[in-house]
A and B are shown apart, each in its own frame.
Chain A
Protein backbone atom coordinates (compact mmCIF):
# COMPACT_ATOMS: atom_id res chain seq x y z
CA UNK A 1 0.00 0.00 0.00
CA UNK A 2 1.43 3.34 -1.05
CA UNK A 3 0.62 6.47 0.91
CA UNK A 4 0.06 9.64 -1.10
CA UNK A 5 -1.57 12.94 -0.22
CA UNK A 6 -4.67 14.47 -1.75
CA UNK A 7 -3.56 17.40 -3.89
CA UNK A 8 -6.71 19.28 -2.94
CA UNK A 9 -7.15 18.83 0.84
CA UNK A 10 -3.92 17.07 1.84
CA UNK A 11 -5.63 14.03 3.35
CA UNK A 12 -3.48 10.90 3.30
CA UNK A 13 -4.71 8.39 0.71
CA UNK A 14 -3.80 4.71 0.59
CA UNK A 15 -3.28 3.33 -2.90
CA UNK A 16 -2.79 -0.44 -3.33
CA UNK A 17 0.71 -1.12 -4.57
CA UNK A 18 -0.69 -3.25 -7.41
CA UNK A 19 -2.97 -0.44 -8.65
CA UNK A 20 -3.06 -0.14 -12.43
CA UNK A 21 -2.04 3.13 -14.02
CA UNK A 22 -5.15 5.07 -14.86
CA UNK A 23 -7.26 3.65 -12.02
CA UNK A 24 -9.36 6.25 -10.31
CA UNK A 25 -8.81 7.15 -6.66
CA UNK A 26 -11.33 9.39 -4.91
CA UNK A 27 -10.50 11.34 -1.79
CA UNK A 28 -13.13 10.46 0.82
CA UNK A 29 -12.84 13.88 2.43
CA UNK A 30 -13.09 16.33 -0.46
CA UNK A 31 -14.25 14.07 -3.31
CA UNK A 32 -11.41 14.97 -5.66
CA UNK A 33 -10.75 12.29 -8.30
CA UNK A 34 -7.26 11.22 -9.30
CA UNK A 35 -5.71 8.82 -11.74
CA UNK A 36 -2.99 6.54 -10.50
CA UNK A 37 0.31 7.19 -12.26
CA UNK A 38 3.81 5.87 -11.75
CA UNK A 39 7.09 7.69 -11.97
CA UNK A 40 10.34 5.78 -11.51
CA UNK A 41 8.34 2.98 -9.93
CA UNK A 42 6.68 5.30 -7.40
CA UNK A 43 2.94 5.73 -7.26
CA UNK A 44 1.76 9.28 -7.91
CA UNK A 45 -1.61 10.89 -8.44
CA UNK A 46 -2.64 13.15 -11.26
CA UNK A 47 -5.98 14.98 -11.37
CA UNK A 48 -8.61 12.99 -13.28
CA UNK A 49 -10.54 14.63 -16.09
CA UNK A 50 -14.06 15.68 -15.26
CA UNK A 51 -17.02 14.32 -17.22
CA UNK A 52 -17.10 15.76 -20.74
CA UNK A 53 -20.07 16.49 -22.95
CA UNK A 54 -18.98 13.74 -25.33
CA UNK A 55 -18.37 11.10 -22.68
CA UNK A 56 -20.19 7.81 -22.79
CA UNK A 57 -20.78 4.84 -24.99
Chain B
Protein backbone atom coordinates (compact mmCIF):
# COMPACT_ATOMS: atom_id res chain seq x y z
CA UNK B 1 0.00 0.00 0.00
CA UNK B 2 1.52 3.29 -1.05
CA UNK B 3 0.50 6.84 -0.35
CA UNK B 4 1.86 8.75 -3.28
CA UNK B 5 2.00 12.23 -4.58
CA UNK B 6 3.73 13.01 -7.82
CA UNK B 7 4.50 16.59 -8.66
CA UNK B 8 7.40 16.61 -11.09
CA UNK B 9 9.54 14.51 -13.32
CA UNK B 10 12.61 15.06 -11.14
CA UNK B 11 14.39 12.58 -8.94
CA UNK B 12 12.20 10.30 -6.91
CA UNK B 13 12.34 9.38 -3.26
CA UNK B 14 10.51 6.98 -0.98
CA UNK B 15 10.01 7.40 2.73
CA UNK B 16 9.61 3.93 4.23
CA UNK B 17 7.67 3.92 7.50
CA UNK B 18 5.79 1.54 9.73
CA UNK B 19 4.22 4.07 12.09
CA UNK B 20 3.35 7.37 10.49
CA UNK B 21 4.60 10.18 12.71
CA UNK B 22 4.87 13.92 12.31
CA UNK B 23 8.44 13.52 11.03
CA UNK B 24 7.49 11.32 8.08
CA UNK B 25 4.71 13.67 7.00
CA UNK B 26 7.08 16.60 7.30
CA UNK B 27 9.69 14.83 5.15
CA UNK B 28 7.06 14.10 2.50
CA UNK B 29 5.84 17.68 2.47
CA UNK B 30 9.33 19.12 2.15
CA UNK B 31 10.29 16.65 -0.59
CA UNK B 32 7.20 17.59 -2.59
CA UNK B 33 7.84 21.27 -2.02
CA UNK B 34 11.38 20.81 -3.36
CA UNK B 35 9.85 19.36 -6.50
CA UNK B 36 10.82 15.73 -6.06
CA UNK B 37 8.60 12.77 -6.77
CA UNK B 38 8.07 11.62 -3.22
CA UNK B 39 5.92 8.98 -1.62
CA UNK B 40 5.27 7.32 1.68
CA UNK B 41 5.66 3.55 1.60
CA UNK B 42 4.28 1.38 4.38
CA UNK B 43 7.01 -1.09 5.33
CA UNK B 44 4.39 -3.62 6.39
CA UNK B 45 3.33 -3.97 2.76
CA UNK B 46 6.79 -4.53 1.29
CA UNK B 47 7.88 -7.86 -0.15
CA UNK B 48 11.38 -8.58 -1.39
CA UNK B 49 12.81 -11.60 -3.16
CA UNK B 50 16.18 -12.84 -4.29
CA UNK B 51 15.16 -12.69 -7.93
CA UNK B 52 16.05 -9.03 -8.46
CA UNK B 53 19.41 -9.22 -6.70
CA UNK B 54 22.74 -9.45 -8.50
CA UNK B 55 21.42 -8.50 -11.93
CA UNK B 56 23.74 -5.52 -12.20
CA UNK B 57 20.89 -3.04 -12.46
CA UNK B 58 19.11 -0.85 -10.00
CA UNK B 59 16.31 -3.28 -9.40
CA UNK B 60 14.37 -0.89 -7.19
CA UNK B 61 12.08 -0.23 -10.08
CA UNK B 62 10.39 -3.55 -9.61
CA UNK B 63 9.75 -4.84 -6.14
CA UNK B 64 6.38 -6.47 -6.15
CA UNK B 65 5.36 -3.91 -8.74
CA UNK B 66 6.33 -1.03 -6.52
CA UNK B 67 8.75 1.65 -7.62
CA UNK B 68 10.82 2.86 -4.70
CA UNK B 69 12.63 5.47 -6.75
CA UNK B 70 16.18 6.78 -6.69
CA UNK B 71 16.69 6.85 -2.94
CA UNK B 72 14.94 5.63 0.20
CA UNK B 73 14.78 7.40 3.53
CA UNK B 74 14.36 4.60 6.06
CA UNK B 75 12.04 5.73 8.86
CA UNK B 76 10.78 2.51 10.46
CA UNK B 77 10.06 2.83 14.15
CA UNK B 78 10.87 -0.86 14.62
CA UNK B 79 14.64 -1.22 14.65
CA UNK B 80 14.77 -4.75 13.28
CA UNK B 81 12.16 -4.19 10.60
CA UNK B 82 14.03 -1.11 9.40
CA UNK B 83 17.40 -2.82 9.61
CA UNK B 84 16.43 -5.81 7.49
CA UNK B 85 14.48 -3.78 4.95
CA UNK B 86 17.62 -1.68 4.55
CA UNK B 87 19.61 -4.88 3.95
CA UNK B 88 17.15 -5.82 1.19
CA UNK B 89 17.25 -2.35 -0.35
CA UNK B 90 21.03 -2.24 -0.40
CA UNK B 91 21.19 -5.66 -2.01
CA UNK B 92 19.00 -4.22 -4.74
CA UNK B 93 21.47 -1.31 -5.10
CA UNK B 94 18.96 1.23 -3.86
CA UNK B 95 20.73 3.99 -1.89
CA UNK B 96 19.19 4.03 1.59
CA UNK B 97 19.54 6.56 4.36
CA UNK B 98 20.91 5.43 6.66
CA UNK B 99 22.90 2.46 5.43
CA UNK B 100 22.72 -1.01 6.97
CA UNK B 101 26.03 -0.75 8.80
CA UNK B 102 25.03 2.56 10.37
CA UNK B 103 21.64 1.21 11.42
CA UNK B 104 23.17 -1.91 12.90
CA UNK B 105 25.71 0.05 14.91
CA UNK B 106 23.35 2.74 16.15
CA UNK B 107 20.54 0.32 16.95
CA UNK B 108 22.70 -1.58 19.39
CA UNK B 109 24.16 0.34 22.32
CA UNK B 110 27.02 -2.12 22.75
CA UNK B 111 28.13 -1.81 19.12
CA UNK B 112 27.65 1.95 19.22
CA UNK B 113 29.77 2.36 22.36
CA UNK B 114 32.50 0.22 20.81
CA UNK B 115 32.47 2.30 17.61
CA UNK B 116 32.70 5.55 19.56
CA UNK B 117 35.55 4.21 21.67
CA UNK B 118 37.44 2.93 18.63
CA UNK B 119 37.31 6.44 17.18
CA UNK B 120 38.36 8.07 20.46
CA UNK B 121 35.06 9.90 20.85
CA UNK B 122 34.65 10.81 24.55
CA UNK B 123 31.93 8.62 26.07
CA UNK B 124 30.92 7.63 29.60
CA UNK B 125 32.85 4.61 30.90
CA UNK B 126 30.83 1.58 29.82
CA UNK B 127 31.11 -2.11 30.62
CA UNK B 128 29.78 -5.14 28.76
CA UNK B 129 29.15 -8.31 30.75
CA UNK B 130 27.86 -11.67 29.60
CA UNK B 131 26.61 -13.47 32.69
CA UNK B 132 24.30 -12.65 35.59
CA UNK B 133 26.88 -13.40 38.27
CA UNK B 134 29.57 -11.27 36.68
CA UNK B 135 27.12 -8.40 36.08
CA UNK B 136 26.30 -8.20 39.79
CA UNK B 137 29.94 -8.56 40.76
CA UNK B 138 30.96 -5.81 38.33
CA UNK B 139 28.26 -3.40 39.53
CA UNK B 140 29.33 -3.99 43.13
CA UNK B 141 32.96 -3.33 42.24
CA UNK B 142 32.17 -0.16 40.29
CA UNK B 143 29.87 1.17 42.99
CA UNK B 144 26.45 2.78 42.94
CA UNK B 145 24.67 4.60 41.41
CA UNK B 146 25.39 3.02 38.06
CA UNK B 147 23.25 3.01 34.92
CA UNK B 148 21.87 -0.17 33.40
CA UNK B 149 20.70 -0.06 29.78
CA UNK B 150 19.22 -2.72 27.49
CA UNK B 151 21.44 -2.94 24.40
CA UNK B 152 18.46 -2.65 22.03
CA UNK B 153 15.64 -0.26 22.77
CA UNK B 154 14.90 3.41 22.77
CA UNK B 155 13.05 6.33 24.33
CA UNK B 156 14.84 5.54 27.59
CA UNK B 157 12.75 2.40 28.15
CA UNK B 158 14.20 0.09 30.79
CA UNK B 159 17.16 2.41 31.29
CA UNK B 160 17.61 2.27 35.04
CA UNK B 161 19.77 4.29 37.42
CA UNK B 162 20.70 1.45 39.78
CA UNK B 163 20.92 2.73 43.36
CA UNK B 164 22.28 -0.27 45.25
CA UNK B 165 23.19 -3.95 45.22
CA UNK B 166 19.65 -5.08 46.04
CA UNK B 167 18.25 -3.19 43.05
CA UNK B 168 20.96 -4.59 40.77
CA UNK B 169 20.19 -8.14 41.85
CA UNK B 170 16.49 -7.60 41.18
CA UNK B 171 17.18 -6.26 37.69
CA UNK B 172 19.45 -9.19 36.86
CA UNK B 173 16.89 -11.67 38.18
CA UNK B 174 14.21 -10.15 35.96
CA UNK B 175 16.48 -10.04 32.90
CA UNK B 176 17.39 -13.70 33.35
CA UNK B 177 13.68 -14.63 33.23
CA UNK B 178 13.12 -12.81 29.94
CA UNK B 179 13.11 -15.03 26.84
CA UNK B 180 15.01 -12.61 24.60
CA UNK B 181 18.71 -13.65 24.54
CA UNK B 182 19.71 -9.98 24.33
CA UNK B 183 18.26 -9.57 27.84
CA UNK B 184 21.24 -11.52 29.15
CA UNK B 185 23.85 -9.17 27.72
CA UNK B 186 24.56 -6.61 30.43
CA UNK B 187 25.45 -3.02 29.59
CA UNK B 188 26.52 -0.92 32.56
CA UNK B 189 27.49 2.70 32.26
CA UNK B 190 28.91 5.14 34.74
CA UNK B 191 26.40 7.56 36.26
CA UNK B 192 27.49 10.90 34.82
CA UNK B 193 27.14 13.97 37.06
CA UNK B 194 25.41 16.34 34.69
CA UNK B 195 22.89 19.17 34.73
CA UNK B 196 19.24 17.99 34.42
CA UNK B 197 19.53 18.13 30.66
CA UNK B 198 21.43 16.67 27.74
CA UNK B 199 22.11 17.86 24.22
CA UNK B 200 20.55 16.43 21.07
CA UNK B 201 22.47 17.47 17.98
CA UNK B 202 21.38 16.52 14.49
CA UNK B 203 24.07 15.70 11.96
CA UNK B 204 23.19 15.59 8.28
CA UNK B 205 26.11 14.47 6.16
CA UNK B 206 29.13 16.54 7.11
CA UNK B 207 27.23 19.24 9.04
CA UNK B 208 25.70 19.68 12.46
CA UNK B 209 22.50 21.36 11.34
CA UNK B 210 20.96 22.06 14.74
CA UNK B 211 21.27 21.29 18.43
CA UNK B 212 18.87 21.54 21.34
CA UNK B 213 19.04 21.06 25.07
CA UNK B 214 16.60 18.44 26.31
CA UNK B 215 15.40 19.00 29.84
CA UNK B 216 13.96 16.11 31.81
CA UNK B 217 10.26 16.33 32.64
CA UNK B 218 9.42 17.04 36.26
CA UNK B 219 10.19 14.05 38.44
CA UNK B 220 12.08 12.36 35.58
CA UNK B 221 15.78 11.61 35.34
CA UNK B 222 15.63 10.74 31.64
CA UNK B 223 15.65 13.64 29.19
CA UNK B 224 13.92 11.95 26.22
CA UNK B 225 11.33 14.17 24.56
CA UNK B 226 9.28 10.98 24.19
CA UNK B 227 9.10 10.94 28.00
CA UNK B 228 7.82 14.47 28.25
CA UNK B 229 11.16 16.27 28.24
CA UNK B 230 11.24 19.75 26.75
CA UNK B 231 13.62 21.27 24.24
CA UNK B 232 15.45 24.60 24.18
CA UNK B 233 17.88 25.92 21.56
CA UNK B 234 21.56 25.07 22.06
CA UNK B 235 24.40 26.99 20.44
CA UNK B 236 26.64 24.88 18.22
CA UNK B 237 30.09 25.61 19.61
CA UNK B 238 33.29 24.47 17.92
CA UNK B 239 33.69 21.82 20.64
CA UNK B 240 30.14 20.53 20.11
CA UNK B 241 30.51 20.50 16.34
CA UNK B 242 33.79 18.64 16.55
CA UNK B 243 32.55 15.89 18.86
CA UNK B 244 29.33 15.44 16.85
CA UNK B 245 31.12 15.06 13.53
CA UNK B 246 33.57 12.61 15.08
CA UNK B 247 30.69 10.58 16.54
CA UNK B 248 28.89 10.58 13.19
CA UNK B 249 32.02 9.42 11.41
CA UNK B 250 32.52 6.70 14.02
CA UNK B 251 29.18 5.07 13.21
CA UNK B 252 29.43 5.50 9.44
CA UNK B 253 27.74 8.86 8.82
CA UNK B 254 24.38 9.90 7.39
CA UNK B 255 21.41 11.47 9.16
CA UNK B 256 22.00 11.05 12.87
CA UNK B 257 20.85 12.26 16.26
CA UNK B 258 23.83 12.60 18.60
CA UNK B 259 23.03 12.59 22.33
CA UNK B 260 25.58 14.29 24.52
CA UNK B 261 25.94 14.84 28.25
CA UNK B 262 27.82 17.69 29.89
CA UNK B 263 30.03 16.09 32.49
CA UNK B 264 31.01 18.47 35.28
CA UNK B 265 34.68 17.49 35.08
CA UNK B 266 35.32 16.15 31.57
CA UNK B 267 33.08 18.28 29.38
CA UNK B 268 31.07 16.77 26.54
CA UNK B 269 30.49 13.00 26.42
CA UNK B 270 28.56 11.23 23.67
CA UNK B 271 26.30 8.59 25.16
CA UNK B 272 24.18 7.60 22.17
CA UNK B 273 23.89 7.99 18.41
CA UNK B 274 20.41 7.58 16.94
CA UNK B 275 19.84 6.19 13.48
CA UNK B 276 16.19 7.08 12.79
CA UNK B 277 16.29 10.46 14.41
CA UNK B 278 13.07 11.90 15.79
CA UNK B 279 13.19 15.65 15.34
CA UNK B 280 9.79 17.04 16.24
CA UNK B 281 11.05 18.36 19.58
CA UNK B 282 14.12 19.93 18.00
CA UNK B 283 12.06 21.40 15.15
CA UNK B 284 9.76 23.11 17.65
CA UNK B 285 12.60 25.35 18.85
CA UNK B 286 15.09 25.33 15.98
CA UNK B 287 15.23 27.91 13.21
CA UNK B 288 16.56 25.25 10.85
CA UNK B 289 14.21 23.37 8.54
CA UNK B 290 15.37 19.90 9.54
CA UNK B 291 13.21 17.92 7.12
CA UNK B 292 14.33 20.13 4.24
CA UNK B 293 17.96 19.45 5.14
CA UNK B 294 17.39 15.69 5.29
CA UNK B 295 15.62 15.55 1.92
CA UNK B 296 18.30 17.72 0.30
CA UNK B 297 20.97 15.40 1.68
CA UNK B 298 19.16 12.36 0.30
CA UNK B 299 19.18 13.90 -3.14
CA UNK B 300 22.87 14.74 -2.86
CA UNK B 301 23.49 11.05 -2.07
CA UNK B 302 21.70 10.07 -5.28
CA UNK B 303 23.73 12.47 -7.36
CA UNK B 304 27.08 11.65 -5.76
Contact surface of A with B, Cβ cutoff 8 Å? 20-24, 35, 37-38, 48-49, 52-57
Contact = CB atoms under 8 A, between A and B. Distances in A.
Contact of A23 (B20, B77, B107, B226): B20
B153 A22 contact: no
A21 B42 contact: yes
Which interface residue of A21, A22, A56, A57 has the most chain B CB atoms within 10 A? A57
A53 B180 contact: yes
A53 B153 CA distance: 6
A21 B153 contact: no
Nearest to B2: A21
Interface stretch (B62-70, B229-237, B269-277): B269-277
Nearest to A48: B19
A57 B154 contact: yes
Given A21-B40, A54-B154, A56-B157, 5 more contacts: A20-B40, A22-B20, A49-B18, A53-B180, A56-B226
Query: Ordered nearest first, which 8 A-B pairs have the shortest CB separation?
Result: A56-B154, A22-B20, A57-B274, A54-B79, A21-B3, A56-B155, A57-B154, A55-B77
Contact of A22 (B42, B154, B277): B42
A52 B78 contact: yes
Contacts of A53: 152-153, 157, 180
Contact of B17 (A22, A37, A38, A54): A22
B80 interface: yes
SS of B interface (majority) = loop
B78 to A, nearest CB: 5
Interface of B: 1-3, 17-20, 25, 40, 42, 77-80, 107, 152-155, 157, 180, 226, 257, 274-278
B182 to A, nearest CB: 9
A29 B107 CA distance: 36
A38 B40 CA distance: 14
A47 B152 CA distance: 25
Contact of A55 (B154, B274, B275): B154
A20 B15 CA distance: 13
A38 B4 CA distance: 13
Contacts of A22: 3, 17, 19-20, 40, 42
A20 B39 CA distance: 11
Which interface residue of B18, B180, B274 has the most chain A CB atoms within 10 A? B18
Contacts of A55: 19, 77-79, 154-155
9 contacts: A21-B3, A22-B19, A24-B20, A37-B1, A52-B78, A53-B157, A54-B154, A55-B154, A55-B155
Contact of A57 (B20, B80, B275): B275
Given A20-B3, A21-B1, A22-B40, A54 B152 contact: yes
